[in-house]
Amino acid sequence: LATGGDSALGGDDFDRALADHLLAQTQADRGDARVRAEALHAARTAKEALSQRETVRVELPRADLRGFVLERGAAETIMEPIARRTVAPCRRALTDAGVRADELDGVVLVGGSTRVPLVRRLVAQTFKREPLADLDPDLVVAYGAAIQADVLSGSERPGVTLLDVVPLSLGLETMGGIVEKIIPRNATIPIAARQVFTNYSEQQSGMVVHVVQGERELAGDCKSLARFELKGIPRLPPSMARIEITFQLDADALLTVTARELMTGVKQSVEVKPTYGLSEAEVDALVIESLDFADADFEARNLAEARVELGRVVLAVRSAVLDVGDVPGLLASDERAAIEAALAEADQTMATSSSGQSAKAVTAVRERLEGTSEPFARRRMERALQAGMEGKSLAEIEQTLADEDALDRRRGSHEAEQTPTE
C-alpha cells in the first residue's frame, strides 16, 4: 500500500546521544577515539539495560567516570527528540496508503532499539494500539527476507504478494513551471497513466515535454528526468488542440513517456530510468524536504497558477480588441480606453517579478480585467452567433448548438497548459 521512513535514523543515534551525555559528565577529550569508543559501548549497554529496569550504573575508566547512575527517565529525555522523528514517516505512510491507524491489523516492530519503552509508547500513541510483542524485533527482517526469497524462487505462498512501488512522484512541467503529477508516489508498478493537455496560445505549433520526479509543487525544485519536443501541433485557438501524454512504468522501473497529438496522430516518446543514481536515503530526504516546504510550495503554486490564468485572459482580451477593429456598436471609445487601462495594469503585473507578489493580488487584477471587458465580450459573442445563424434553417441551428455543446464538454475535461514552443 505504501512505504516510508528515514534511512538515516536508527539505534546508533540513541547510542551517540547517550554517549555525549555520559562524556558531558567528565573532563575527558571527546576527540580521543578510544574514549569515544568506550562511551559508545557503555551507552549501548545502558540503553539495553534501561529497557528492563529503571536505573543503571555506568563506568568509563578512560574518561575517569565511575559509579555514574543513569535513570531511565533521564535517558528517555535524551532519546525522545530522536524517537519522535519516526512519527512523521509513519503518519505519511498511512496518508499515502489511504488508511486510518484503526484500520490496521497490527504493528510489527523491527530492530533491537524498538525494545526501548519510549519507542513502544510512541508507536502505541501513533497507531492507537499496542505493537505486536510476539516477534523478536532482531529477527523480523530475516523472516521477511526469507519469505521474499521463497516467493522469488517460484514458491506459491497463499496470502503473500510482493509489490514494487514508485518511490517518488512522476509528472510534467506545465505552464508557469507548475508540476502536474501523472504517477503518484507509492503507486504499484507496473503502471500506466495518461492525461490530456492542451495548447496555451494560438500560434503554438509544438510542445516541450519536460518530465520531472519529486514531491515539490514547482518543476525547478524537482529532479529533471528528460525533455523532448512534440512538433506538428495544428495552430488552433487556445485550449483547442489536444495532446495526450502517457506515462508507462514497466516491471523493471523503466519509464516510457509518449506525447501524441490527437487530431493528427503525430507522436514522440522518450525512455528513462527514474530511480537511477538515487539511494534510499536520498529518496527519503526528498520526501521529507517536500513536507518541510509544503506551505511555501503551495503558495508558490497558487501564485504561478494565478499568473498563468492572468496571462491567458490578457491574450484573449487583447486578441478580441484587435479583431473587432472599428466595427460600429461593438466597442465605444470610452469602453476601449477602460479595457486598455485594465490591460496595461495586467501587463505591468505580468512584467513584475513574482517574488513579493501574492496569488490574491494577481487574481484581483485578472478579475478587474474580466469585469471591465465582460460587456464587450458579451456583445461580441452575440454578434458572432447572429452572423453564424443568419440564413440557416432551424435544424441547422440546432445542430450547430449541439456541436458547440459537445465541444464545451470536451473542454471541460481535465486539462493542463504546457509550456508553448513556437
Phi, psi of 202 (to 5 degrees): -70, -30
- What pLDDT digit, counting tens, does each position of 22-63 carry? 999 888 887 889 999 999 999 999 999 999 999 999 999 888
pLDDT at 98: 84
**pLDDT at 408 exceeding the cut of 60:** no
Q: Where are the alpha helices (DSSP H) in 24-116?
A: 33-50, 72-83, 87-97
As a whole number, mean pLDDT of residues 376-395 equals 71
Q: How far apart are the first and last CA of the chain?
A: 43
**pLDDT at 373 exceeding the cut of 70:** yes
pLDDT at 238: 78
* Fold match, 85-152 / 165-292: no
pLDDT band (50, 70, 90) for residue 345: very high
Please tell me the least confidently modeled range out of 129-133, 246-250, 322-326. Answer: 322-326
**pLDDT at 122 exceeding the cut of 60:** yes
CATH no. for 85-152: 3.30.420.40
205: Cβ contacts below 8 Å, ≥ 6 apart:
231, 232, 233, 234, 235, 421, 422
Copy the grid coordinates of residue 72.
531511565
69-87 in b/e burial notation, b at 16+ Cβ within 10 A? ebebeebbebbeebbeebe
78: Cβ contacts below 8 Å, ≥ 6 apart:
17, 18, 21
- What pLDDT digit, counting tens, does each position of 60-108 carry? 988 888 889 999 999 999 999 999 988 888 888 888 888 888 888 889 9
- Fold of domain 165-292: Substrate Binding Domain Of DNAk; Chain A, domain 1 (2.60.34)
How far does Cα 307 stand from its chain's mean position?
21
**pLDDT at 409 exceeding the cut of 70:** no
Closest CA to 218 of 175, 273, 257: 175
User: For residue 105, with 0-12 CB atoms within 10 Å meaning exposed, 13-18 middle and 19 or more buried, which class applies?
Assistant: exposed
Q: Note whether 198 and 208 are within 8 A (CB).
A: no
- What pLDDT digit, counting tens, does each position of 235-252 carry? 887 778 889 999 999 888
Copy the grid coordinates of residue 223.
529532479
- What pLDDT digit, counting tens, does each position of 173-187 carry? 998 899 999 999 888
pLDDT at 327: 63
C-alpha distances in Å from residue 228, one per residue of 198, 266, 364? 16, 14, 36
Please tell me the least confidently modeled range out of 31-45, 148-162, 396-410. Answer: 396-410
- What pLDDT digit, counting tens, does each position of 254-310 carry? 899 999 988 888 888 888 877 655 677 777 788 888 878 888 888 889 999 999 999
Measured from the Cβ of residue 36, the count of other Cβ atoms closer than 10 Å reads: 19
As a whole number, mean pLDDT of residues 324-352 equals 83
Q: Give the start-to-end residue ranges of the domains of the chain.
A: 11-75, 85-152, 165-292, 294-390
Which of these CATH numbers, 1.10.10.10, 1.10.760.10, 1.20.1270.10, 1.10.1380.10, describes 294-390? 1.20.1270.10
Q: d(Cα 242, Cα 265) in Å, to the nearest integer? A: 10
pLDDT at 397: 56
Q: d(Cα 392, Cα 401) in Å, to the nearest integer? A: 12
Bridge partners for 244 per DSSP: 196, 260
Q: Note whether 59 and 47 are within 8 A (CB).
A: no
